[in-house]
Chains A and B, each alone.
Chain A
Amino acid sequence: MKKQAAYAAFVVLLLAAAAYAAFFIAPTDARQGVVYRIIFLHVPCAETGLLSFFVCFVGNVAYVLKRDAKWDWLGVSAAEVGLAFTTACLVTGPIWAKPVWGIWWTWDARLTSTAVLWLLYVAYLLLRSLIEEPERRALLSALFGIFAFIDVPLVFGSIRWWRTQHPQPVIMGGPGSGLDPTMKAVLFFCWAPMLALMVLLMQSRYRLEAMRGDLDVVRREMETA
């Protein structure tokens, strides 16, 4: 418990350092002005969300193959955490878009595929809440989770494959893309606390699911007693 509190404090410090870097170290963008600084939050949230869904996918595939409840616990933990990061991404995006595009939202490939991704993982969690029997719940949600993951490469590729209102990729983009070196360094630095936060949230959520597993065991013992 003390270790977790210390780690949580470390994550808070990292988040504060990232905010400092985003506000005071990164230079102001010549065209967008100060509002572009939202990308130091929005992009790491988006990437961390996709990474969480990848962890969920790994848990889902491993559960289908091994039928070990621990993989199911990892799957649901990663799905919830991914949803938190994707929600943050979907909220911060429009806050940036309104002053830059003049509109909060547009149905382009990147925004639409991200909204669909969010809905798919909400459906994953809803599905879990509808099935009582643990093994059946784990298997069906793992199969649904594997299906939902199909959207992750679509979200990642959408700004590379199609012309979108959303800006083209600044990292791993085509020729002519990229960022000012200081902006790029700050962007990577801002990703670190998001990854640390992902680990913290996933660990906490995994422990919660493990406790639920223990509770099921105790209940079963009581029923047979």
Chain B
Amino acid sequence: MKNLNSVFAAYLVAWGIFFVYYLTVARRAAALREELEKLKNSLPRNK
């Protein structure tokens, strides 16, 4: 079982990269959704 730590490290790091990326996309989407709603709500008032 020599180097088993390396295998675990590789899996942890790779899954971490995908998880963090998915999280950043979800956060960016939530921020945009919020901004879009704000703008849509303010649109009739401007007209």
Q: Which residues of A contact B43 (CB under 8 A)?
A: 218, 221-222, 225
Interface size on A, residues (CB 8 A): 39
For window 190-224 of A, CB contacts with B under 8 Å fall at 197, 200-201, 204-205, 207-208, 211-212, 214-215, 218-219, 221-222
Q: Which residues of B contact A99 (CB under 8 A)?
A: 2-3, 6
Residue of B nearest to A214 (CB): B36
A88 and B6 in contact (CB under 8 A), knowing A215-B35, A222-B46?
Answer: no
Q: Which residues of B contact A80 (CB under 8 A)?
A: 21
B17 → chain A, closest Cβ, in Å?
A: 5
Q: Are A38 and B10 in contact (CB under 8 A)?
A: yes
For window 1-56 of A, CB contacts with B under 8 Å fall at 8, 15, 19, 23, 33-35, 37-38, 41-42, 45
Q: Are B7 and A208 in contact (CB under 8 A)?
A: no
Q: Are B22 and A201 in contact (CB under 8 A)?
A: yes
Q: Are B14 and A88 in contact (CB under 8 A)?
A: yes
Q: Which residues of A contact B14 (CB under 8 A)?
A: 41, 45, 88, 91-92
Q: Which residues of A contact B17 (CB under 8 A)?
A: 84, 87-88, 91
Q: Which residues of B contact A19 (CB under 8 A)?
A: 11
| In the bound complex, CA of A87 to CA of B7 (Å) | 17
Q: CB within 8 Å of A: which residues of B?
A: 1-4, 6-7, 9-11, 13-15, 17-18, 21-22, 25-26, 28-29, 32-33, 35-36, 39-40, 42-43, 46-47
- For the A-B complex with A38-B7, A99-B2, A208-B28 known, give 10 more contacts whose Cβ atoms are closer than 8 Å: A34-B4, A35-B6, A35-B7, A41-B11, A88-B13, A96-B10, A201-B21, A204-B26, A211-B36, A225-B43
